[in-house]
Structure 1
Amino acid sequence: MNYNLIIITGPTASGKTALAVKVAHALNTEIISADSRQVYRGLDIGTGKDLREYYINGCLIPYHLIDIVDPSENFDLFCFYKRFFELFRGFLSRRKVPVLAGGTALYIHSIIARYRLLDVPTNNSLREEVSHYTMEKLTDLLKSLQSELHNITDLEDRERLLRAIEIADYRIKNPGVRAMGEDIDVKPLIIGTYWERPLLKERITKRLLERLKEGMVEEVKTLHEKGCSWERLEYFGLEYKYISLYLQGKLSYDEMVKTLNIRINQFSKKQMGWFRKMEREGFKINWVDKSQRAIDAIEIAQKVTGKKDSYF
């Protein structure tokens, strides 16, 4: 197959960015981020956004969809989908094969499964109507509005749950509205970064402690001081949620670290659930472990370009 897109994905803390940079360098191409939080300016340590990683041999690998909106702005699946295809069309016209890299499985699935999406406006009257609902009641409402839940994380955060209800309600009330879709033929080569579960758990714990030492708590505190509400920070999930709870005095430091470590591990399992779903749907994921990643990066370059020389 003549691939026109390379996707590098995998669970959190599995080395996706490092591999993506090697592949992009080998192909003389660019990276499109598939990370739902790295789009936000100022969300750096907590999202693992280290732009120094995009340098290889002193050269900057061009990247897209990183640091493009403020934390106060909304950036959802529809925004990603639209921005991705704007970029993708440009790559096709230049005969380049971009690297889509990240762990937001919903974003990746939307591209390979050819989602058709609606640009749904905020429904303030609906939000006011359900403002007093408990999370359980909101979940029941969402389930009554749509038979299948695409993203289970919608049930874990009030803002995400409200947005999912808005979209489901809009679909019911506007059945004639045409969803946006793309007719561009995406031919992806999907690479998954794999670690055995015990090793991945160790990596997650080590990375969490390193980020705390690097100033992750101070980052969240600064975001709040600059006007980002606690509610908004909690919406960003994981690191931002539990550090916000700690800074509000709702968790002790040790409770925050322990709970956050557990939640990140649970999140990595959910990511793997998404990848298994993709495989069941017929999307082949080429899993690579730590011992073969550099070699596989070269092989990927050769498959796409036909070049046989060594890049590293």
Structure 2
Amino acid sequence: MVPGKTLIVVAGPTAIGKTALAIQLAKFFSTEIISADSRQFFREMEIGTAKPSKEELAEVKHYFINSHSISTLFSTGDFEVEALTLIQELFTKKDLLIMVGGSGLYLDAVCKGLDELPQTDLTIRKQLNEQFEREGITHIREQLRIRDPEYFNKTDQSNPQRMIRGLEFFLSTGSRLSSFHTKQVKERPFNIVKIALNTDRNKLYERINTRVDLMMQAGLLEEVRSLQPYQHLNALKTVGYSELFDYLEDKTTLASAVDKIKQNTRRFAKRQLTWFRRDDATKWFEPEQLPEIIEYIRQSVKSFKPGL
């Protein structure tokens, strides 16, 4: 353990206020932010991923925002390696860093490490991708629900890449992908303090619905239209984009597509909460509890310099 080096993890469901809190904490503790949001990596996806605004990015240095193209394959394992390398570098000048995101597997990759997974059959992957192109995700999703319900319930069910990956793993190895996830926790050479945000369910759902409306006002439909030539890429098979691609292909009305985005986002938030609640090391707060959060961090970190 490196004395005095601490990673503060800020987790929670989408639209709860993680970005705003992370920026407040980074400014208070004079540090920088590492994003662990699996969609905010991609520079072409701006509005639909709820990235920090230009003004927010100017307030505090962020990493892994707009760091990759949608055409680049960037896995959880890639993030683990790159994030740990960055953290090691940043700890040479900072004693405390903030990592924020709603992608539980990406946060776990840094905090706990990923298991070494058996190789899968690429032929099966090809077959499943072809099946998805022909029939959509419904049958693949149902097969995964039966064969690996734990992975199914914890994963974004509107993300075909995740659904296909889970079923591909089972069909290739005969084992459930959920049985491999962070089974063996790897020790990290720094302290980790985990906090998460939540609030009343109705209030959270109201936040989600409002955010979607604001995204549409900000030009989400135009953003999705500009990305139509790339909609086959895995990065774009996600909430907020898939539904509007359907509208642009005359499969649904715009009002129905927007309602579906809200519904799928609410479902995603429920799965995020299920994921984060399984970790007893996480301390939960309401979004407005900034003083309490700061005090909890100060009490949790034993080697602050005087005055913090």
Q: TM-score of the superposition, structure 1-length normalised?
A: 0.79
Aligned to 1:252: 253
Asked if structure 1 preserves the Cα contact closer than 8 Å seen for 2:102 and 2:272, the reply is yes
d(CA) in 2 for partners of 1:203 and 1:121? Answer: 40
Aligned to 1:214: 218
d(CA) in 1 for partners of 2:81 and 2:173? Answer: 19
Alpha-carbon shift at residue 92 of structure 1 (Å)? 3.4
Alpha-carbon shift at residue 115 of structure 1 (Å)? 2.4
Aligned to 1:194: 198
Q: Deviations over 1:15-66 (max 9, x none)?
A: 10111111112222111101000000121110101333535xxx63111111
d(CA) in 1 for partners of 2:84 and 2:153? Answer: 21
User: Partner amino acid for 1:67?
Assistant: N
Matched, 1:241 2:242: yes
Aligned to 1:85: 84
d(CA) in 2 for partners of 1:50 and 1:147? Answer: 34
Aligned to 2:29: 27
Aligned to 1:270: 271
State percent identity of aligned pairs.
26
Alpha-carbon shift at residue 300 of structure 1 (Å)? 2.5
Matched positions, count: 294
- Compared with structure 1, are the counterparts of its residues 10 and 223 closer, same or farther at alpha carbon in structure 2 (3 Å cutoff)? same
Asked if structure 1 preserves the Cα contact closer than 8 Å seen for 2:31 and 2:97, the reply is yes
Q: 2:13 aligns to what SS in structure 1? A: coil
**Mean Cα displacement is larger for which, 234-243 or 206-215?**
234-243
- Compared with structure 1, are the counterparts of its residues 150 and 139 closer, same or farther at alpha carbon in structure 2 (3 Å cutoff)? closer
Q: 1:258 aligns to what SS in structure 2? A: helix
2:208 alignment partner, one of 204, 207, 212: 204
- Compared with structure 1, are the counterparts of its residues 257 and 277 closer, same or farther at alpha carbon in structure 2 (3 Å cutoff)? same
Asked if structure 2 preserves the Cα contact closer than 8 Å seen for 1:239 and 1:260, the reply is yes
Aligned to 2:304: 306
Specify every segment of 5 or more residues in structure 2 that has no aligned partner in the other structure, as ranges: 176-181
Matched, 1:288 2:290: no
d(CA) in 2 for partners of 1:233 and 1:23? Answer: 33
Q: Deviations over 1:107-150 (max 9, x none)?
A: 11233333224596882x33344434865664687689879637
Asked if structure 1 preserves the Cα contact closer than 8 Å seen for 2:244 and 2:257, the reply is yes
Task: Say what the alpha-carbon RMSD is for the aligned residues.
Answer: 3.4
- Compared with structure 1, are the counterparts of its residues 120 and 286 closer, same or farther at alpha carbon in structure 2 (3 Å cutoff)? same
Specify every segment of 5 or more residues in structure 1 that has no aligned partner in the other structure, as ranges: 174-178
Asked if structure 1 preserves the Cα contact closer than 8 Å seen for 2:39 and 2:45, the reply is yes
Q: Deviations over 1:219-258 (max 9, x none)?
A: 111122xx313x3378431101111111111110111111
Aligned to 1:126: 124
Q: 2:125 aligns to what SS in structure 1? A: helix
Alpha-carbon shift at residue 83 of structure 1 (Å)? 1.3
d(CA) in 1 for partners of 2:234 and 2:248? Answer: 11
Asked if structure 1 preserves the Cα contact closer than 8 Å seen for 2:33 and 2:98, the reply is yes
Q: 2:284 aligns to what SS in structure 1? A: strand
d(CA) in 1 for partners of 2:185 and 2:117? Answer: 9
d(CA) in 1 for partners of 2:55 and 2:197? Answer: 17
d(CA) in 1 for partners of 2:131 and 2:224? Answer: 28
- Compared with structure 1, are the counterparts of its residues 84 and 182 closer, same or farther at alpha carbon in structure 2 (3 Å cutoff)? farther
Alpha-carbon shift at residue 159 of structure 1 (Å)? 3.1
d(CA) in 1 for partners of 2:298 and 2:192? Answer: 13
Q: Deviations over 1:160-187 (max 9, x none)?
A: 33333455567679xxxxx999653342
Q: TM-score of the superposition, structure 2-length normalised?
A: 0.80
Matched, 1:49 2:47: no
User: Partner amino acid for 1:275?
Assistant: F
- Compared with structure 1, are the counterparts of its residues 119 and 30 closer, same or farther at alpha carbon in structure 2 (3 Å cutoff)? farther
Aligned to 1:11: 13
Q: 1:251 aligns to what SS in structure 2? A: coil
Asked if structure 1 preserves the Cα contact closer than 8 Å seen for 2:152 and 2:163, the reply is no
Q: 1:103 aligns to what SS in structure 2? A: coil
User: Partner amino acid for 2:27?
Assistant: H
- Compared with structure 1, are the counterparts of its residues 286 and 129 closer, same or farther at alpha carbon in structure 2 (3 Å cutoff)? closer
Asked if structure 1 preserves the Cα contact closer than 8 Å seen for 2:32 and 2:60, the reply is yes
